[in-house]
Structure 1
Amino acid sequence: MPLALWLASSRISSGDIHTSSSDKSQGLKRDLATEVTWTTVTIANVYVYVDDNGVPYETKTIGQVSTVDTTVTASTFTTSTTVQATPSPERSSKTADVTPSVSAIAHNAPNPAVTEPAVSISSSVSSSSPASSQISTPVTSSASSSLVALPAPSSSAASSAALSSKVPEASSASTAPQQSASPEPRPQTSANDAWPIGVTYDPYTSNGCRSDQDVAQDFDKMKQFGVIRIYGSGCNMIPLAVKNAKRLNLKVLAGIWLTTRGSSDDIDQYIQTLFQAVRDNGGSWDIIAGVSVENERVNDKDETASAVVDAVNRARSGLRKSGFNGPVAAVETVPAILGNPAVCQASDVVMANIHPFFDTHANAESAGQFVKDQVSQIKNQCGGKRVIVTESGWPTAGDSHDNAVPSPANQKTAIDSLNAAFSGDLFFFNAFDDAWKSDFQGSYNAETHWGILH
């Protein structure tokens, strides 16, 4: 990306006021001595880097302070001045409990080692159901990979909203991300930034984690998609996803898994791991399309909206300091977004899981229009922000309900409908069936049957 460079020489003046008194008691009148000191510092060679739109994203100062001029004014005395000591306000800093848990619903991607999974169903109507912690046996589906026929993305097609930047070279894997004095710019969110059609992926099996070789083979099967969404750091997913995405010229929507009900990602450690993975694979943050923070935790009543807002802000701050300037956002269901506008306000873009299958009125043929209508509702609620559908699809098996009938044929129909309605900014759920999950009544026994590739 072409960069503009500004060169400036700055003079920065600051004033310090020092007070002294013979009486240190609170709220008493006494003589007050005031001394005003002005310090002028001259700094040379300030480089400000900006993007194509003139938005600064990095500032560097070359050289040392050249001069320091100090002027001290005469001291003045004021008699009988009342000084009331006022305590500094406590700063409330609530940090979300960041530990990915098992969720028994198809659109949550947890750690299969954790028990007592949290459950939610993503739809136009908020709902939840109890889940079993048992791991189901593998289920074979007759659906084939031909259900989604998308061309392999080119480097230009798989565009990212992230500003182009490089991860600084480090001497060891434990080196922390370098701090940046630049502000935390919000990324551009126009329609031109739309990502290509993507797919969601998790690396779990009935027995634990997929091998590195299995993950590489899975990515080969997913290479027709431009972006791969991952949910957390389990099973060494971050370095594996970045490595294979780099190999296939794909991008990654990285995900920080947060929950109060089980194992969760630590935000700071996650950022360090992501930083290291990017550095080990060429050093460009362009491979990371965006970062999602949590997945339906507000919908599941696992986190409060304020805790999610805090987590998004904390993650964004750490990612900006690490050099990543792409979108950072929470992922929620439509009801949770409409009911908690602070979540979409805190996010750079709005990320929503929208599943027509769980709605009482939608069917496979209307899946695309249903999701478009939901996106319109979100945009109206969130001030016209860009909306990315982070999950949508249709199961191949399970129980029918209302107008929704799960089957391989209806999955193909729903996917065709979604492809007709969206050319980008949508992720199909899920790349493969999740045999490690458990079917249950609340998911219409379709929990393990959402895979679109085999």
Structure 2
Amino acid sequence: MRPTLLSLSFLSLLGLSAGQPRHQHLHRHRANRAPVEKRDKITVTDAKYSTTTELPEVVVYVDQNNNPIRTTTETVVYVPLSAETDQTSTPTAESVPLPTKGAQVDKSTPSSSYQQASPTAEQNSSSEVTSAADSYPTSSASASSSAASPSASSGALHGVAYSPYKGNGECKTADEVDADFALIAKDYGVIRLYGVDCDQVATAYAAAKKYGNKLFLGIFDINAVEDGVSTMASGVQNDWDIVDTVSVGNELVNDGGATVDQVLSALSQTRSLLRTAGYEGPVVIVDTFVAVLAHPELCDQSDYCAVNVHPFFDPNTGADGAGSFVTSTVSNIRSKLSDSSKRIVVTETGWPWQGEANGAAVPGMDQQTTALSSIKSAYASNASNVILFTAFNDMWKKAEASTFMAEQFWGMGGRYSPCDE
């Protein structure tokens, strides 16, 4: 493994984040499973410093192909160029093997192992940390699309993620989806879906039309883009005005489910098919922020930058630091983009209300309230650029120690869908 330094002004970053469905019931948050032995200090030569300066920084570990693996916080010593040679050398870190990741819920999912690589370091400026959520326009700057920002009616509200599955894994009926929307519609402008199975586009369309929401739709299976677009067009009855965004995949690069080239190809194909079908809004790839930091082209070629950011999986971040974690992450992403003015939307973020502690990240109802308040405060003037995770507890998922037994309990305010009560 080799670490990449990301300067975050006393905030650490999370390497792996949450994933939402394909109805193979594989939606689970990714966690840092094995401890990485922390070195006392990393020394980096940097001309911008006139004196030796120590700062806590994040180290993002990547393999030899520059694919993100995980993160940890280290003490970094920045040494000016004029310092002694023996002070400026960067120590070699011991490579730490990572366990195979994978899970089995209703169906088996293939596991993938990570390779080790030797460490190097690079640094990004920490001067861009403040007010990342509020400092940039909400409309897409992409010249390749006529991407539109959310409507005025929904732009003042946060979005929320939504799953069409009952606790027993069966699909929710149209009436059950309607009952869910009746509870959440007034609080959220955009409702995010992830796929086209379970007739979810049609049932969510009917509910969104009734209650006045926009839909963030998704093509999860990038090997069936044509069928997905067709199902989507039929589900919304070609009423594309109700669609805020269409996503391609969800964390596929981060999870090893597809290569960068495969996802970019699927993005192009999806956009072309959607344009032919009459949809002219944003089409984006969604992945974790670590995948985007390693592969900013995922954002550069999307109509805006869509990224999942989960503070809970950083053991150094408590609930009260959730908002700062998110905005600092967004700031670092922005520094990597070819167009620094491009819109960035956090497409998943939240906090569990039940489960096991992950260091300073402790689940709980009070903690969820604190974390959500922190995130909402950070996006107070730009609410449409964040989608909270998730509308209801997802009882169809499997509790796992690797995700701190919290996977089912991310519902806003601990809320259950009426069909699971």
Task: Name the TM-score, length of structure 1 as normaliser.
Answer: 0.60
Map 1:334-413 → 2, pairs under 5 A: 334-382=289-337, 383-384=339-340, 385-413=342-370
Please tell me the residue identity of whatever aligns with 2:251: E
Question: Could you tell me which residue of structure 1 aligns to residue 82 of structure 2?
Answer: none
Contact 1:203 1:235 in 2 (8 A): yes
Distance 2:354 2:145 in 1: 45
Match of 2:233 among 275, 279, 289: 275
Matches of 1:198 and 1:437, distance apart in 2: 22
Once the two structures are TM-superposed, the CA of residue 184 in structure 1 deviates from its matched residue by: 6.5
Amino acid at match of 1:129: K
Q: 2: distance between equivalents of 1:380 and 1:408?
A: 34
More strand, by proportion: 1
Which residue does the alignment assign to 1:247? 210
Distance 1:435 1:246, change over 3 A: same
**Any idea what the Cα deviations from partners look like across 1:248-297, whole Å, max 9, x if unmatched?**
111000011126xxxx7x21122122222333xxx542200010100000
Q: Is the 8 A contact 2:310 2:348 kept in 1?
A: yes
Aligned partners of 1:227 and 1:190: how far apart in 2? Answer: 8
Structure 1 unpaired stretches of 5+ = 1-104, 136-159, 163-182
More helix per residue: 2
CA distance in 1, matches of 2:148, 2:199: 31
Residues 1:111 and 2:111 aligned together: no
Choose from 396, 400, 403 the match for 1:436: 396
Match in the other structure for 2:105? 133
Amino acid of the structure 1 residue aligned with 2:236: V
Task: Identify the match of residue 303 of structure 1 among 258, 263, 266.
Answer: 258
C-alpha distance in structure 2 between counterparts of 1:355 and 1:225, whole Å? 19
Whether contact under 8 Å (1:432, 1:450) holds in the other structure is: yes
Asked if 2 retains the 8 angstrom alpha-carbon contact of 1:355 and 1:393, the reply is yes
Q: Deviations over 1:355-383 (max 9, x none)?
A: 00001221100111110111111111112
Distance 1:305 1:194 in 2: 31
Counterpart secondary structure, 1:253: strand
CA contact (8 A) 2:18 2:28 kept: no
Of residues 281, 300, 309 in structure 2, which corresponds to 1:326? 281
2:328 maps to a residue whose letter is D
1:199 alignment counterpart: 160
Render the CA deviation track for 1:48-79: whole Å, top value 9, x for unaligned. Answer: xxxxxxxxxxxxxxxxxxxxxxxxxxxxxxxx
- Mapped to 2, the partners of 1:197 and 1:232 lie a distance apart of 20
1:216 shift after superposition: 0.6
Q: Letter of the 1:108 partner, please give it.
A: Q
Amino acid at match of 1:220: A
Which residue in 1 is equivalent to 2:30?
121
Deviation at 1:195, TM superposition (A): 6.8
- The match for 2:176 is 214
Matches within 5 A, 1:143-162: none
Q: Could you tell me how far apart the structure 1 residues matched to 2:312 and 2:291 are?
A: 18
SS at match of 1:376: helix
Give how far 1:299 is off: 0.1
Structure 2 letter corresponding to 1:387? I
Structure 1's 118 and 306: CA in aligned 2 closer, same or farther, altered over 3 A? farther
Distance in structure 2 (CA, Å) of the matches to 1:298 and 1:391: 16
- Structure index of larger Rg: 1
Structure 1 residue 232: Cα displacement: 0.2
TM-fit CA distance, 1:188: 5.3
CA gap of 1:161–1:214, structure 2 versus 1, over 3 A, is farther
What letter matches 1:301 in structure 2?
G
SS at match of 1:204: coil
Contact 2:356 2:406 in 1 (8 A): yes
Query: CA–CA distance in 1 between the matches of 2:169 and 2:147?
Result: 40
Verify the 8 A CA contact 1:120 1:299 in the aligned structure 2.
no
CA displacement, residues 81-125 of structure 1 (integer Å, 9 cap, x when unaligned): xxxxxxxxxxxxxxxxxxxxxxxx85322314x6xx486627986
Task: Give the structure 1 partner of residue 200 of structure 2.
Answer: 237
Using the TM superposition, give the Cα deviation of residue 194 of structure 1 relative to its aligned residue in structure 2, in angstroms: 5.5
What SS does the corresponding residue of 2:387 show, helix, strand or coil? strand
Runs of 4+, deviation exceeding 4 Å: 117-120, 122-128, 188-195
Contact 1:364 1:411 in 2 (8 A): yes
For 1:307 and 1:161, how far apart are their aligned partners in 2? Answer: 27
Contact in 2 for aligned 1:201/1:430 (Cα 8 Å): yes
**Counterpart for residue 169 of structure 1:** none
> Residues 191, 225 of structure 1: CA spacing in aligned structure 2 closer, same or farther, 3 A cutoff?
closer
- Does the alignment pair 1:286 with 2:241? yes
Identity of aligned residues (%): 33
Aligned to 2:410: 450
Task: Report the counterpart of residue 415 of structure 1 in structure 2.
Answer: 372
Give the distance between the partners of 2:306 and 2:323, measured in 1 at CA: 17
RMSD: 2.8
Counterpart for residue 130 of structure 2: none
TM-score, normalised to structure 2, is: 0.65
